[in-house]
Structure 1
């Protein structure tokens, strides 16, 4: 089944396609698993290469004909494909449990399929386990690692991400039941961590907001409303003897650029102004304010610093 991942319509197409493939029966799992197991054995013997020369060497080593080895490879590949299509419903059911964690459902499903492939390669049908039981952990692990890596602005170690996810789940369950989280000592015991580490997990669970993130229905960003905390910004750029040279550069600027620099660095006011406020005063956009300020700073670096 060939699916091109890209937009939301693909999910409908994918769900429609997998309905064409029936679930596997226990007898089928065993028979298909043995065929894949033989394919895996051939791959291991050929060190992962399945070109004609390697297959010929394998056939000679195991006293088999070339046609028998090629048939085993084709049969194993077909069996693996059938095991994948027969368990896609399981992948989707697991992926849905990880929704709303910053990763699209299609990406979760795609990562789950990779985990499913690993499970197929490691499945031993002669041990008596159902394949769905065996593959569940591999699929879940692949999806959980994807969400841990991509759902946060700062990547957390896998074991920490697992603790944070459990903490968030307990919080959601408490809200759903109109209850409150248990006291910290009890919560730390349930998470199997110390109280001090619990505080760290709570900090890790807080969402990060980019200073460049635009708000709903607005072009403003959090960074536009942050003012500099430096009382004398020029002191950060140069020493005392360079300030006269900087003043000469500022005096040589076009009137608009000079006004932007003075307002942004607080040379005429008690406090520096944000890009948004500067733009309002000069009747220009905040993006133009940033461009003019960057041009001035480049001239100062070239001529003075």
Structure 2
């Protein structure tokens, strides 16, 4: 049972390639209730186009050539293997997996615009294929490829949602946004123009606000290091105003603060504390008289009296204005 089938990778090798356990999530064991209208018939798959496509890396081309050597199964053979798997045959399980690896490639190629490399998509789809082998019930009468396509698509969709984006989207949000994209493309072809949000919402059975929310959530962040203009070295971040205080403002505030602290030494500890709390000299948080009173264990009126006395003792009419400017 440990020998790999002709021309295919063993289950363990597929798992090691993906780095993900065979059951990485909890899903409904029932699988699809009926045939998926978008399912791919394994008997009709042809890897010739994929093998000759330009831009494929050598490892991908080698993988496609390797899995293309495995003969496709007839419906009767699928049922026979499923019966053997039910009886505990690991060899039959491996055979069914390897005979359907090209089905995974066919599904994975639909997601090549997601940002993940094709081989990564295939590896994730292989995990879905293994799950399909575990859950397939030949008694229900439909072909294994129809059933497996549902699991393969689910595995790849989850991987795209988890790994392809800078900010991870929940799987259901990613899938719903994918539906919006397909509906938008279809409407664009039918109308000969870009459809409005209202038209997309109607076709999707959603509210306009839901369409806007999905589009906003799926929007990728833009790097501040994005080059702009010609070859002048400019970056997008250079155009964004920096709200942080400049060096001159920082130095000026420090000088004023130092001067005020020096002036406050003429006050009693309680008076100094009231002024510091009122004008945010300690933590940049200005407090009300009621808050100051609670801090000192006195009434609001008593806190006001202490503040008034402190300002009078300082005999600096402009001190209050200076304090307010600093706090602002």
Specify the TM-score bucket, using the shorter chain as the normaliser. Answer: 0.5 to 0.7
- Note the C-alpha offset of 1:190: 2.2
Partner of 2:62: 13
Secondary structure of the corresponding residue to residue 100 of structure 1: helix
**Is the CA contact (8 Å cut-off) linking 1:95 and 1:105 kept in structure 2?**
yes
Q: Verify: 1:121 aligned to 2:134, yes or no.
A: yes
Q: State how far apart, in whole Å, the 1-side matches of 2:153 and 2:82 are.
A: 20
**Is the CA contact (8 Å cut-off) linking 2:132 and 2:148 kept in structure 1?**
yes
Distance 1:198 1:178, change over 3 A: closer
Q: Verify: 1:208 aligned to 2:252, yes or no.
A: no
Partner of 1:36: 85
Match of 1:23 among 72, 85, 92: 72
> Which has the higher mean CA deviation after the structures are superposed, 222-231 or 121-130?
222-231
Aligned pair count reads 209
Match of 2:118 among 98, 105, 122: 105
Secondary structure of the corresponding residue to residue 84 of structure 1: helix
Distance 1:180 1:223, change over 3 A: same
Q: State how far apart, in whole Å, the 2-side matches of 1:179 and 1:98 are.
A: 25
In the TM superposition, what whole-angstrom CA distance separates every residue of 1:21-66 from its partner, at most 9, and x where no partner exists?
0001111111111122222xxxxxxxxxxxxxxxxxxxxxxxxxxx
Partner of 1:189: 202
Partner of 1:265: none
Q: Verify: 1:146 aligned to 2:159, yes or no.
A: yes
Distance 1:21 1:230, change over 3 A: same
Name structure 1 gaps, 5 residues minimum: 40-75, 245-305
Partner of 2:237: 223
In the TM superposition, what whole-angstrom CA distance separates every residue of 1:59-115 from its partner, at most 9, and x where no partner exists?
xxxxxxxxxxxxxxxxx2111111111111211111111111111111111100000
Partner of 1:274: none
Q: Verify: 1:163 aligned to 2:163, yes or no.
A: no
**Is the CA contact (8 Å cut-off) linking 2:187 and 2:195 kept in structure 1?**
no
**Is the CA contact (8 Å cut-off) linking 1:24 and 1:86 kept in structure 2?**
yes
Partner of 1:77: 90
Distance 1:219 1:157, change over 3 A: same
Q: State how far apart, in whole Å, the 2-side matches of 1:174 and 1:83 are.
A: 39
Distance 1:162 1:218, change over 3 A: farther
Q: State how far apart, in whole Å, the 1-side matches of 2:126 and 2:96 are.
A: 11
**Is the CA contact (8 Å cut-off) linking 1:234 and 1:243 kept in structure 2?**
no
Secondary structure of the corresponding residue to residue 168 of structure 2: coil
Larger radius of gyration: 2
- Note the C-alpha offset of 1:139: 0.5
Q: State how far apart, in whole Å, the 2-side matches of 1:28 and 1:36 are.
A: 12
TM-score by length of 2: 0.55
Q: What value does the CA root-mean-square deviation take over the aligned residues?
A: 3.3
Q: State how far apart, in whole Å, the 2-side matches of 1:176 and 1:9 are.
A: 36
